[in-house]
Amino acid sequence: MSPAQFPADRAAYLRAHAWLAAAAMAGAMLILWIAGNPHIWTGGVAGLAAIALRGWYLASEELTAVWAVEGAELTGPGGQRIALRRIETVRTIGSFVQVITTDGHKYLIKYQADPQATMAAIERARA
Question: Could you report the per-residue pLDDT of 91-120, keeping only the tens digit for each?
Answer: 999 999 999 999 999 999 999 999 999 999
Whether residues 55 and 80 share a domain: the answer is no
Whether residues 72 and 54 share a domain: the answer is no
Q: What is the DSSP string of 3-30?
A: SEEEE--HHHHHHHHHHHHHHHHHHHHH
pLDDT at 111: 97
pLDDT at 1: 44
Decide if 44 is inside a domain: yes
Name which of 57, 56, 33 is nearest 43 in CA terms.
Answer: 33
pLDDT at 127: 85
Whether residues 71 and 44 share a domain: the answer is no
pLDDT at 9: 97
| Number of neighbours of residue 40 by Cβ within 10 angstroms | 16
Query: How much of the chain, in percent, has pLDDT values that exceed 70?
Result: 98
User: How many domains does the structure of the chain reveal?
Assistant: 2
Decide if 4 is inside a domain: no
CA–CA distance, 48 with 51 (Å, rounded to integer): 5
- The domain containing residue 19 runs over which residues? 9-62
Average pLDDT over the chain reads: 95
- Sign, Cα dihedral of 6, 94, 72, 76: positive
CB 68 within 8 A of CB 53: no
